[in-house]
Structure 1
Amino acid sequence: MERLSGDYYLYPGATDRALREYRAFLRPTGRRPLYPRVAQCSCRGCSFDDVRHARDVLDQVLRQLPPRPRAELVRRVRPLDAVYLERTLPDPFARQRQYRADLWWRRRLASGAEGG
């Protein structure tokens, strides 16, 4: 699917990288809130500095996969989503600040200036 996608951000290995970045962001244990960091560059590599981009990639992959591989990826992503929701804080101004405020993971407080 990655190889056939015409999307700049979906290249071979992007799904694996997105999963690794998502897990790494959520890895610190504890009860302190986590704040996604805004990427300083929108190239393929730097864009993963923002965990929300990693989640965007996973969402796009989930929408394009056939049912069986989609179900397998959902089983991996769903628990991460639960931790993300638990460890991040809602952004009451996301609708004004986020270019994709329709996506629940983008409606969380981030560190740095919001783009879009």
Structure 2
Amino acid sequence: MERLSGDYYVFPGATVRALRRYKGFLQPPGRRPLYPQDAHCSCRGCSLDDVRHARDVLEEVLQQLPSRSRAELKRQVASLDAVYLGRTLPDPFADRRQRRADLWWRRRLTVGGETM
């Protein structure tokens, strides 16, 4: 699926890299809030430094996968989503600050402002 995708950010190995990044962001033990940070570069490799972009990639992959693979990945992503939701704080001004405020994972407080 990654090889056939027409999406610039979905390339061979992108799914595992995005999933690793998402898990890694949620890794620190404790209950302190986590704050996503902007990536310093928007190329398809560096952009995964922003956990929100990693989640964007996972969403795109979920839409393109066949049903059996989609269900398996969706279970993994859903459990990570629950942790992300519990460890990040809502941003009441996301609609003004975020490029994609329609996506719930982008409506969370960040360290850096979203670049357009």
Scaled by the length of structure 1, what TM-score is found? Answer: 0.97
Number of matched pairs:
116
| Counterpart for residue 96 of structure 1 | 96
Percentage identity across aligned positions?
Answer: 74
Structure 1 ranges of 4+ moved more than 3 A: none
CA contact (8 A) 2:5 2:11 kept: yes
| 1:58-109 deviation per Cα after TM superposition (whole angstroms, max 9, x unaligned) | 0000011111100000111111000000000000100011110000000000
| Counterpart for residue 47 of structure 1 | 47
Q: Partner amino acid for 1:99? A: R
Scaled by the length of structure 2, what TM-score is found? Answer: 0.97
Structure 2 runs not aligned, ≥5 long: none
Task: Please provide the CA RMSD for this pair.
Answer: 0.7
| Cα separation, 1, equivalents of 2:102 and 2:20 | 24
**Equivalent residues in 2 for 1:4-23, closer than 5 Å:** 4-23=4-23
| 1:2-43 deviation per Cα after TM superposition (whole angstroms, max 9, x unaligned) | 000111110000000000000000000101000001111100
**Equivalent residues in 2 for 1:39-78, closer than 5 Å:** 39-78=39-78
Structure 1 runs not aligned, ≥5 long: none
